[in-house]
Structure 1
Amino acid sequence: MSAAKEAGMVCVGAIGGAFGVQGEVRLKSFCAEPTDIAEYGPLSTEDGKRQFTVSLTRPLKGALGARLTGIASKEEADALKGTRLYVARTRLPALPDDEFYYSDLIGLTVTDTGGEVLGKVLAVHDHGAGDLLEIRSAGGSDSFLLPFTREAVPTVDLTAGRLVVDPPEES
Structure 2
Amino acid sequence: MEKWFNVGKIVNTQGIKGEVRVISKTDFPEKRYKAGNVLYLFMPNASKPIELTVKSHRTHKNFNLLTFEGFTNINEVEKFRDGILKVPETQLDTLEEDEFYYHEIIGCLVATVQGEEIGKVTEILSPGANDVWVVKGKGGKEQLIPYIHDVVKKVDVKEKVILIEPMEGLLS
Point out where structure 2 has 5 or more consecutive residues left out of the alignment: none
Count, aligned residues: 161
Query: What is the percent sequence identity of the aligned residues?
Result: 22
Judging changes above 3 Å, is the alpha-carbon distance between structure 1 residues 64 and 95 closer, same or farther for their aligned structure 2 residues? same
In structure 1, the partner of 2:147 is: 148
Judging changes above 3 Å, is the alpha-carbon distance between structure 1 residues 37 and 85 closer, same or farther for their aligned structure 2 residues? farther
* In 1: Cα distance, 2:155 partner to 2:53 partner: 36
Contact 1:12 1:86 in 2 (8 A): yes
In structure 2, the partner of 1:14 is: 9
In structure 2, the partner of 1:51 is: 49
In structure 2, the partner of 1:77 is: 77
Task: Kindly state the Cα deviation for residue 48 of structure 1 after the two structures are TM-superposed.
Answer: 8.8
Task: Kindly state the Cα deviation for residue 169 of structure 1 after the two structures are TM-superposed.
Answer: 0.8
Query: TM-score, structure 2 length as denominator?
Result: 0.74
Judging changes above 3 Å, is the alpha-carbon distance between structure 1 residues 169 and 61 closer, same or farther for their aligned structure 2 residues? closer
SS of corresponding position for 1:53: strand
In structure 2, the partner of 1:26 is: 20
| CA deviation profile, 1:139-170 (whole Å, cap 9, x unmatched) | 24221111111111111111111100111111
Judging changes above 3 Å, is the alpha-carbon distance between structure 1 residues 43 and 133 closer, same or farther for their aligned structure 2 residues? same
* In 1: Cα distance, 2:123 partner to 2:93 partner: 22
In structure 2, the partner of 1:3 is: none
Contact 1:38 1:53 in 2 (8 A): no
Question: Which one-letter code corresponds to 1:67 in the other structure?
Answer: F
Question: Which one-letter code corresponds to 1:43 in the other structure?
Answer: Y
Query: TM-score, structure 1 length as denominator?
Result: 0.74
In structure 2, the partner of 1:132 is: 132
RMSD: 3.1
Judging changes above 3 Å, is the alpha-carbon distance between structure 1 residues 59 and 91 closer, same or farther for their aligned structure 2 residues? closer
